[in-house]
Structure 1
């Protein structure tokens, strides 16, 4: 169980996360949505302790995460794997080595600095790449891969940590719809197969609804919605995202990653068209 109690982070006079209290049971897949600047990324970075809370507490299975220091903190960051929007791979290193770097907090630092990995670690890394369908890239340098491939390498690296929780910060924000689906399918598979808690920040409502059993909506650093996808009504969306200059709510089609692009019904009627699926574009 992850427990956040009145978690707050201030940057000077600005409050990025404002008194957030949340509980996430083990094995849940949670999507956090909200406008840019709502505090989503800061919240995840505090859970991983990449950002220090100004006040409040973080607990996981009875351990006070917000008080950890030194080796105990490094162990937490091993157990709480982080996946970033910009992948955070080492471009000049090959894919296999990038994946094996997920073992950093499991082994002596000197061995990692010298890129000395065991046979078992290499087998484990290849298996992670095979699971994500990119084993053929193992000996390529990471910088030569597409964005979707790099994000899958980042997920494979997270798997190498043997984490108890995975935090994904806008993992599909820079990906095309087809690669976004592949990445989200991979995260859901990790959640369902291993029973690992996955908490992911998302900027698309259809993705949150399709993949997450629970959605948390943030606005101005606060949680303004917490419920099932079916409970994310137009009124709830309006509270999370606000309105346009004319007072209208957002058009959800503008936040879609769907690879199916339907032709409007009026156009279909006039020219006899069926919805077109633009797959792989």
Structure 2
């Protein structure tokens, strides 16, 4: 069980996140929605400990995450992988090396400095790329890829951490609808096949409904909705987003990306099974 108890973050006199209490069982896929400035990103950054909580407790099982320091904190950030809106890749490094960087917290300092990755780690990296359908980009510079490809590289890097939880901060905000669908399919596939908890911030209601089994709505730093997609009705949407200037309901089509989860086999551009690792020659293996 992952638990946030009275978690608050203040910046000066402003509470970006205000007394949030959430319990998340292992293996859930959770979407966090709300207006810009609602506190979604700050919440995820506190979970990963990129931002320190001002008050409250963050726990994962018996571990008091909010009290971790030093090596224990680095281990948590390894176990709680973070995927960012802007990908956070190293543009001048090739894709394979970017993915291998996900192993740094599993290695000694000396090996990390020497950038010495094992054959097994290279096989893992190629398998992660193949699973996401982009193994052919392994030797390309990361900066030459499209936005959708770069986000898939970021997901492959997160998989290399062998995490217990994945946090995705607006992972599709800068992507077109097709690439957004590919990325969300990938996150859902990881959640279902590995049983990894996924918490993702989203700004599109249709995406949250189609992909997440649980939706948390935030407004002004507080949780104002926490329920299943079917419970996200007009009243709930109003409590999260408010109303238009004329008092009208929010038009959900304004945030729609027309993403729909496929009912049949995944299309070619989507996730591929990684039962075998074919392009090992790319990595010099």
Q: Normalized against structure 2, the TM-score is what?
A: 0.90
CA distance, structure 1, for counterparts of residue 110 and residue 254 of structure 2: 49
What does residue 220 of structure 1 align with? 220
Total equivalences in the alignment: 261
Q: Secondary structure of 1:16's match?
A: strand
Aligned-residue offset at 1:109: 2.1
Cα deviation digits, residues 88-125 of structure 1 (max 9, x gap): 00000000000000001000123223221100000000
Distance 2:139 2:222 in 1: 44
Deviations 1:166-213 (A, max 9, x none): 000000000000000000000000000000000000000000000000
Task: Spell out, residue by residue over 1:36-60, the C-alpha distance to the aligned partner (whole angstroms, 9 max, x if none).
Answer: 0000000000000000000000000
1:113 and 1:134 mapped to 2: Cα distance?
27
1:259: Cα distance to partner?
Answer: 5.7
Equivalent position SS for 2:198:
strand
Structural mapping, 1:118-137, within 5 Å: 118-137=118-137
CA distance in 1, matches of 2:111, 2:161: 16
Distance in 2 separating the partners of 1:151 and 1:143: 11
- Can you list the C-alpha shifts for 1:70-101, whole angstroms capped at 9, x where unaligned? 00000000000000000000000000000000
Matched residues in 2 for 1:134 and 1:100: separation? Answer: 15
CA distance in 2: counterparts of 1:214 and 1:19, whole angstroms: 20
2:273 aligned residue: none
CA drift of 1:244 comes to 1.2
2:238: which partner in 1?
238
Ranges in structure 1 where 5+ consecutive residues have no aligned partner = 261-279
**What corresponds to 2:263 in structure 1?**
none
CA distance in 2, matches of 1:85, 1:254: 20
Partner in structure 1 of residue 49 of structure 2: 49
Structure 2 alignment gaps of length 5 or more: 261-268, 270-285
Residues 100-151 of structure 1: CA distance to partner in whole angstroms, max 9, x if unpaired? 0000100012322322110000000000000000000000000000000000
Structure 2 match to 1:277:
none
User: Any residues of structure 2 matched to 1:29-178 within 5 Å, and which?
Assistant: 29-178=29-178
Partner of 1:5: 5
Residues 163-202 of structure 1 mapped to structure 2, 5 A cutoff: 163-202=163-202
Alignment root-mean-square deviation, CA: 1.0
Distance 1:73 1:29, change over 3 A: same
Secondary structure class of the residue paired with 2:248: coil
Q: Matched residues in 2 for 1:119 and 1:141: separation?
A: 21
- Rg larger in 1 or in 2? 1
